[in-house]
Every structure is written in C-alpha cells, then in structure tokens.
C-alpha cells in the first residue's frame, strides 16, 4: 500500500501552474500551497472544495516567504519567525479545509525549506514547532532520515517518509539539487518504472547508477512537471497493476 501525493494550488491571482482538477482525480493526498511560495485565498478555497468533494486528503504545503522565487531559494529565517510563519500558513489553509467539510491532515514543507530541513536542525525544529503551535497533532511528510522527521517523531507527531517519482537521488539518498543536470526525471516511462520499483522493490537507481534503498509510505509526483496529470494517472495505474493499493496515509 502506498499514498500518492502531488503539489496543488500553485497559482496566484490570474496566474496558474498546476492542473488541480486533473491531479485530484489521480492522487490520494494534496499538498496545497498556502500563499508563501504560491497560492492565494481563492486558490486555496477552490482546491480545498475540490479535494473534499473527491475524498482526497488535504495537506498544508508550507514554505519560506518567497513568491518571486517560488519558494526555491534558501533563506536564513530566524527560528522564532519561521515557527510563526508555519503556524500562520497552516491556519490559513485550515479555514478553507473546514469550510469544505474536511480538515488539514498533514504538513509538507516545499522547495528550499524541504531540502533545508533535511540537514538543518534549527530550521527543522522551527518547522515542527510551528506545526505544534497550529495544533491538531498533524502528520509530517518528509525525506527518510531527515532532521525534520526526527524532530517530528520526538515531538510525538506522526513522521511519514516519502519518495519522489520524478526526482534524481544522490548515493546518500537525498535529492539531487534542482540546479544540477538531471535533477528532474523527464522521461515518463522512467518515472513509471521508478515508481513501481520504489513501491514494490523498495529501491531506486541513483544518479551514479547505484541502487539506493527506499522506505516510503507516500510517493510524490510534482504538480508543476509538464504533463503532470497524465503522468500521475500512468503512475497510479502501473502501481495498481503491480498489486499496490493506492491509499492515503492519513
């Protein structure tokens, strides 16, 4: 059994990026942008309404305050400030989730914050403190072995490991930085093969050709990848044909 998640609501005003409705027909968990890297009140409300109607779990995709850089620029935010900003983003999304008859079930950092919280104790602890400040004992979605998941577990929050269908891995099991060649896997057939391998064989081929163990309860397909919805449909179909039940982890 594995969860399939994607980043949704990554629009702002008249600008749109993700095909939210098509992705919601494929995934079991939706990482909804909360306004700091993308998303605004109207976008959050629309995506929450659609997710609730489709029985898709709603997660808060929290980020550094970086609309211009789409949340992909690392920032040295003081821990106390970051804690408050995480709680603020969760609270904003929770209003729309509850209005739609659902709830925010989990939290997943976005972009630079996600990668920073893999190794930075202070930033990881600040994210978890923000989640606790928001209340509700929310699950935390992150990279296996990350400081984020370690702090989440220490705080008594469900720590959920995830893998990435369309991202290259280093031999250490971390993601190849987006600025490096080959960081994103664009070949759809390769993405599908990797997805099944990670769910069934619990392993993936790294950027250097080595086999890397993968432990994941959730699999991410990036919503901003060209053709993301069609790719997510292929991934889900391939997983189910391989005998993997695709279900939300919350």
Confirm if 219 and 10 have CB atoms less than 8 A apart: no
Q: What percent of the chain is predicted at pLDDT more than 70?
A: 100
Query: What counts of helices (H) and strands (E) characterise the chain?
Result: 8, 9
pLDDT band at 18 (very low <50, low <70, confident <90, very high): confident
Q: Which residue in 100, 103, 112, 25 sits closest to 73, CA to CA?
A: 112
pLDDT at 72: 93
At 1 the pLDDT is 95
Mean pLDDT over each residue of the chain, to the nearest integer: 95
Residue 66, pLDDT score: 97
pLDDT for position 70: 93
Tens-digit pLDDT profile for residues 175-225: 998 888 889 998 999 999 999 999 999 999 999 999 999 999 999 998 777
Own/partner long-range contacts of 67-72 (Cβ < 8 Å, ≥24 apart): 67/12, 67/36, 67/37, 67/38, 69/37, 69/112, 70/37, 70/38, 70/111, 71/36, 71/37, 71/38, 71/110, 71/111, 71/112, 71/113, 72/37, 72/111, 72/112, 72/178
Q: Strand pairing partners for 114?
A: none
Structure tokens, 38: 């993308």
Check whether 88 has a pLDDT greater than 90. Answer: yes
Q: E strands along the chain, which residues?
A: 3-8, 29-33, 57-62, 104-109, 139-142, 159-164, 203-205, 211-213, 218-220
Phi/psi at 224 (5° precision): -95, 5
44-58, 81-95, 179-193: lowest mean pLDDT where? Answer: 179-193
% of the chain exceeding 90 in pLDDT:
86
pLDDT at 134 over 80: yes
Please say whether the beta carbons of 148 and 161 come within 8 A.
Answer: no
| Band (104; pLDDT cuts 50, 70, 90) | very high
126 pLDDT above the threshold of 80:
yes
């Amino acid at each position: 059994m594995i969860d399939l998640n994607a980043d949704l609501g990554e629009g702002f005003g008249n600008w749109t990026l993700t095909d939210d409705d098509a992705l919601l027909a494929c995934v079991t968990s939706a990482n909804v942008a909360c306004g700091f890297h993308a998303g605004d009140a109207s976008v959050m409300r629309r995506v929450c309404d659609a997710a609730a109607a489709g029985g898709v779990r709603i997660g808060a995709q929290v980020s550094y305050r970086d609309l211009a850089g789409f949340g992909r620029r690392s920032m040295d935010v003081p821990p106390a400030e970051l804690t408050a900003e995480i709680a603020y983003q969760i609270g904003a999304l929770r209003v729309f989730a509850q209005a739609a008859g659902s709830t925010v079930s989990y939290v997943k950092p976005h972009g630079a914050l996600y990668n920073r919280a893999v190794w930075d104790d202070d930033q990881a602890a600040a994210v978890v403190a923000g989640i606790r400040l928001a209340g509700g004992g929310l699950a935390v979605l992150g990279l296996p072995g990350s400081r984020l998941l370690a702090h989440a577990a220490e705080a008594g929050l469900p720590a959920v490991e995830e893998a990435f269908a369309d991202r290259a891995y280093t031999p250490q099991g971390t993601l190849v930085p987006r600025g490096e060649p080959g960081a994103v896997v664009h070949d759809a057939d390769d993405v599908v093969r990797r997805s099944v391998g990670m769910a069934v064989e619990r392993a993936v081929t790294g950027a250097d050709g080595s086999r890397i163990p993968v432990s994941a309860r959730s699999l991410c397909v990036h919503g901003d990848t060209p053709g993301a919805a069609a790719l997510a449909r292929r991934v889900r179909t391939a997983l189910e044909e391989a005998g993997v039940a695709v279900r939300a982890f919350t």
